[in-house]
Chain A
Amino acid sequence: MKKIKIEANQEQKELTGKQAFFQNIDYSRALQLSTCVRCGLCAQSCHYYLTDREVKSIPAYKISLVGRVFLYYFGFQRKFWSWWLGSQKLDSSNLDEWTNILFGRCSLCGRCSLNCPMGIKIHDLVRFGRSILARLEVMPQGLASTIKTALIFDNNMGIKPEEWVETVKWLEQELRIERGSSSLFFPLDRFGAKILYAINPREAKFFPLSLLAVGQIFSEAQESWTLSSFNYDATNYAYFLGDDKLAAKFFKRLEASMKRLGCQILVLTECGHGFNAARWESPGWLGYRPEFEIKNVLEIVAEYVKEGKLKLDPSRHKLPVTLHDPCNLVRLGGLLEEARFLLKKAVTHFVEMTPHGIENFCCGGGGGQLAMTEFASQRLKAGKLKAEQIKKTGAKIVVAPCHNCLDQLLELNRFYQLGIQVKTVCEVVAEALIVG
């Protein structure tokens, strides 16, 4: 396995497997690794196992890789019973298997965790395994490239500052044309705005209409908001790598923008992992709780509708619409109702998938899978369950409040010939907006 250094100037000594292991283990992980009894009940909850039926895809097998090393370094038994209990040293002989399984066969969706009778956060233990690999500088090339780009350009798509400013200007013109008003703005670096809106750089590059939709919604609700000319990337691919220090570094960029612009609420775009990382994980990485509030745009838009600031006309969407619950936003992010509340207000024919909510299946695009082209065929295969779920609803529009999910669903649409349109929640809401 070829080693990859993420930060070129980092003067870090090469670590042994044991050192890497002990740098990332914590109390809860040690305890949970001691609890797995290999009952196998997690198998049927994993979209990888359900689509390929391979032992390597069983979540209990995935965490057993880490568990074996845990026993080796943490038990009395390493010298005597390695065969009996499976304890194993972490060295170059098992790094390939770790990488292929922990990165290639898991999207960190947490569905197995929810179904574990022992209450083991399996997804966190897989992430722990990834973090050990990251310490050893072993990781998929694609994920490493995305992170490197984010480090160099301050966004993971490598958008240059002048390009971003131009995009915002163009969006402002579009917004004015759309709404027929020349007094509307797409604010950039507005000091003292209440909301700082952090985007997924993919929106600026490939999906500007989702940004336009948010601009329309904020304008209609007469919100005090702004974009930032730099440090605006809501994504955090270091989260997928399990590198908490690097993940903290990415979050600190958003924190710096909040301080620079004097905003009160950091609102993240429809990006599942970005929201989970910023809202739930960042305090653990930083060692303190950020001084500002962190919300997802869905929470804000749902509030507008509840407060009557936005009026929606559902009759504009007559085609059947279904919702894909992104794992990082719903099962791991706690936003169970916001997206469906909005869709029920914005469309006439809303159909739920089976299962949905916190039990929903991952689309296969989570866990950094879209960045790891090495595992693309496995990702598409694992998406079969989602494709079947969508087919069963009969929906023509699939709404996904997450840009990684959006990409994966677009690929599934082509691969499994679903004949659907894929949209964000804000796009659907903006289309239903009654302009006052």
Chain B
Amino acid sequence: MIWLKLSLAASLIFMISIISYYFYRFNQLYHPNAQAKPKGSPRKGKIYSLSLGLLPWEKESTRQFWPTYVLGIVYHLAIALAFLRLLAELFGLSILSSPFFVVFLLMGTISGLGLFFRRWLNPALRSISLPDDYLANLLVDFFLFAAAMSLWQRTSLFIFYILGLLLALYIPFGKIRHCFFFIPSRLIFGDYYGRKGLFPPPNRKDPFKKAAKAR
């Protein structure tokens, strides 16, 4: 098991190194050195983009396709949980082992499979998909399932490690690397619209505020 743990650690270091290299190369590229006088607040735009802007009712695409949104959220939260669990196991910490997590990780697996079938069965989506889209999804689904099983039965821990290792090796090369680029990308997005005074939307109706008012 110690060899497996060491290999897993090495693969995680490899993943971080390659992703860091990407960031380094991107950073070498041109950065515009002047921007227009802002109308709104770029800072508020960035905060909105990473907070309320992620809520399902804030965008037409997620309002219309809320089941996809729910699947996506459960899937990604489960992935985050599984990775934290992988790190906890690697460092010998006995955290994140509540039976509730088993249920949540299984829900994540089912959500992942839901997204897999959505991609496969929707002709438009299928036609823009690459083999990477399917493999990445299945690899993560197995990883989530293994994470759940390792909580259920300690003997299956080595499968969880192996899948974690494979995932870490694959991440820098396939679409899953978006997990590292998502936040900077949303920050660029928030800055762009925040600067123009469109984020947060000036006439935004906050459903929470509305509910509180009604009470």
Q: Identify the A interface with B (CB < 8 A).
A: 25-28, 30-32, 34-45, 53, 55, 58, 60-61, 64, 74-77, 81, 83-86, 113-121, 279-284, 286-289, 294, 331-334, 336-337, 355, 357-359
Contacts and interface: CB of A to CB of B under 8 A. Distances in A.
Contact of B131 (A55, A75, A84, A114): A84
Given A27-B27, A31-B181, A43 B124 contact: yes
B59 A121 contact: no
Given A118-B178, A284-B34, A75 B173 contact: yes
A305 B198 CA distance: 23
A25 B32 CA distance: 11
Interface string B26-38: 1101111111110
Contact of A336 (B122, B129, B184, B198): B198
A34 B60 CA distance: 23
A60 B198 CA distance: 23
A149 to B, nearest CB: 28
Given A74-B25, A289-B35, A119 B188 contact: yes
A32 B34 contact: no
A283 B35 contact: yes
A86 B128 CA distance: 10
A35 B36 contact: no
B196 interface: yes
A349 to B, nearest CB: 21
B34 A337 contact: no
Interface of B: 18, 22, 25-27, 29-37, 39-40, 49, 54, 59-62, 64-65, 68-69, 72, 119, 122, 124-125, 127-133, 173-175, 177-178, 181-182, 184-186, 188-190, 192-193, 195-198, 201-203
B30 A26 contact: yes
Q: Is the interface of B mostly helix, strand, loop or mixed?
A: helix
Contacts of B124: 40, 43, 53, 55, 58
**From B22, B124, B197, residue with most partner A Cβ within 10 Å:** B124
A32 B18 CA distance: 17
Nearest to A62: B128
Given A27-B27, A55-B127, A334-B197, A84 B61 contact: no
Nearest to A276: B196
Nearest to B23: A31
What are the 9 closest A-B residue pairs judged by CB atoms, nearest first? A119-B189, A334-B196, A115-B61, A119-B186, A283-B34, A284-B32, A41-B61, A35-B185, A26-B30
